[in-house]
Structure 1
């Protein structure tokens, strides 16, 4: 049975480590400073905190790290904008004027007609989907019917071949009987010199 180490990290300690490191990233501090701060609070070494962060906790907070980095960039931009108020005012007026130019003006009637056409396209797509489903059902039915007709055709072809064989046998039998009859018929001369048929 595995036993927990006495120096094992708890969830609360992992959470504290993550919060402090993310705060330092956000505020522009170093991770080493964060490890030292957490180490003092948890009575652990900065190296132990750094090892725990890199081996386990960091993987759990990838999105949090990205967010903290973005917030750090925003804080730096804000600090620069406070330092240079005239340039930021110029940028704001340029951005505002470009936004005003970029906004398209559309009348309410055009908006309503656009919505109507979109709704009509939506209904047509639903109708076409229903038609597609009906056609798929028809295709399935016709495929099944085609298979049945193929089976019937095979049966008819087999019956036809059997009938031809029977007729061929019957013909051969008739020919043989005819030959037998011809062989049985004999002729002889009568007193007047005429041929007379004699059957055995």
Structure 2
């Protein structure tokens, strides 16, 4: 199953990445093989290891990389010469490379330590700035959500009031139509009554039409 770690890189992860990659460089292997080995050790993909090396870690170990390349070159030269001998210690170069991989240059100096600490300080400051930026963005998003909720509640109230007003106007309209309909019927009845002939009886018992 492919590694899918998504957490931030720790100093220990960076150190493992540097040590393994430098070893592969010294031994004449490929960086891809180094990234695959590191990925298996720390639970990340080789692509993530390669991106981390090229974008961040590599810059801290330029001198260590040059030293590893020199060791590889000497090793290759000795193989070509058929000497079959191991590289000379030269002041215990393996120990030197290990120290350099840990972020300390040889010889150990205050300048090297200061550069190393400054690198970590800059990385920490960058992380703090990113966190503050994300917190600010999150706060703005929360405020925007609150505003949208308030507007939504106001729209719901407006819609409810509009519906109530519509029902009231509709009821008034129906009442008005009913009143007008009754008035129209009464007018028709009155017109009908006026059109009918009226009679009255005289003293002799005869009906007399009244105009």
TM over 0.5: no
TM range (shorter): 0.3 to 0.5
- Kindly name which structure, 1 or 2, has the bigger radius of gyration based on alpha carbons: 1
User: Greater relative contact order: 1 or 2 (C-alpha under 8 angstroms, separation 6 or more)?
Assistant: 2
- Higher helix proportion: 1
TM-score, structure 1 as length reference? 0.39
